[in-house]
Copies of this chain bind each other. A is one copy, B any other.
Amino acid sequence: MSDKTTIGVGMIGYAFMGRVHSQAWRSVSAFFDLPLVPRMAVLGGRSKESTEAAAAQLGWADVETDWRELIRRDDVQIVDICTPGDSHAEIAVAALQAGKHVICEKPLANTVEEAEAMVRAAQAAPSSVKSMVAFNYRRVPAIALARRYVEEGRIGEVRHVRAAYLQDWIVDPEFPLVWRLQKDKAGAGALGDIGSHIVDAAQFITGQRLVGVSALTETFIKERPVAAASAGLAATGTGEMGPVTVDDAALFIGRLSGGGLASFEATRFAYGRKNAMRIEINGSLGSLAFDFEAMNELWFSSGGGGFERILVTEPDHPYVGAWWPPGHGLGYEHTFTHEINDFLEAIATGADPSPSFADGLRVQRVLEAVERSAAEGSRYMNVED
């Protein structure tokens, strides 16, 4: 490994996203032949004790309890932001200003204003300083393959996008008021958390922008038990009730820049659907369909035939060559390993990583248009360019 350069990583946050990012940092260089080999230098968290325990388990060499300290360290060249959305902008802007590369969890920020500030910081940084928003679903091999097919013209002109992200983890009214159900922390509910993924995926696969939307949102359960601790997804109630301040579900329809129609649905109330991130695209020459619950499959129709179930595990499929023989599927975490591979490659080669902060802002603007439409009688809202 003597001819490889190591690059130090500091990651902030070690809940769900921090755990999966750690696995990606830990694994990436065993599978991808990278010029830069990441070193898991520092884990940032608020409580020293918990952060140390997490660092021990997840394999980080050191800890910091103040993210500003983490950014400042010489052994940190990459800052990986895995905190809730309300702190993204502040951390990312500071890190970029300190000359660090930044990879930031999605959604980019909780508001368009914050996202704009982040884009400005990314643009103000030297071109050698890279930034990326972590829409990991772009790195599902099946979704990357779908993008490839669209680029190659295999489905022709896009007529329809039909996207839904269906979960059911808050169907139970007794499920507590965790941070993801609070607007000040999470920014939005299903719309921001999972709706952002399908908006990004739709724009990524089609290579088009969503130019306008008409929307409905709803909060089915208005009050929930106040959680004793709000950090995790699950928490024990205290008897006290508090208001749910985000949407439980968001539905919107809209138009693509190329003239096609699109529909979106994000909900956590789809009983029996666990992580059904689904997208179907119908073009003038073919169609593509995907469901994350069967993440190693892409369905493709063209030439007048039915849908072919492509098991996206062949060596020539995106990212797959790095892993196992055909039919030996990948899992959720691999999407993060791919993402980090691409980010490291961009840093090493000087290319611009994608999705950029500007791409993240573009998604944010769609979400804002959705919220405004929902607030104004579903009126069609143009999405700012």
Q: Which residues of A contact B (CB under 8 A)?
A: 1, 16, 19-20, 22-23, 26-27, 29-30, 56-59, 155, 159-160, 162, 164, 166-169, 171, 214-216, 218, 220, 233, 249, 251-255, 259, 261, 263, 265, 267, 269-276, 280, 282-287, 292-297, 301-302, 305-311, 313, 323-334, 373, 377-380
Shortest 6 CB-CB contacts between residues of A and residues of B: A275-B327, A274-B327, A272-B301, A331-B331, A214-B378, A328-B332
A164 to B265, CA, bound (A): 13
Contact residues in B for A305 (Cβ distance below 8 Å): 272, 308, 310
A332 to B331, CA, bound (A): 8
Most central of A272, A274, A333 by chain B CB within 10 Å: A272
Q: Are A271 and B253 in contact (CB under 8 A)?
A: no
A231 to B228, CA, bound (A): 57
Q: Report the nearest B residue to A289, measured CB to CB.
A: B272
Specify which of B58, B295, B306 is in contact with A272 (CB 8 Å cutoff): B306
Q: Are B22 and A26 in contact (CB under 8 A)?
A: no
Q: Are A261 and B253 in contact (CB under 8 A)?
A: no
Contact residues in B for A285 (Cβ distance below 8 Å): 271
Contact residues in B for A270 (Cβ distance below 8 Å): 159-160, 280, 282, 287
Q: Are B167 and A164 in contact (CB under 8 A)?
A: no
A325 to B16, CA, bound (A): 9
Q: Are B324 and A332 in contact (CB under 8 A)?
A: yes
Q: Are A30 and B58 in contact (CB under 8 A)?
A: yes
Contact residues in B for A30 (Cβ distance below 8 Å): 19, 22-23, 26, 57-59
A238 to B164, CA, bound (A): 42
Q: Given the interface contacts A169-B325, A253-B378, does A274 sit within 8 Å of B216 by beta carbon?
A: no
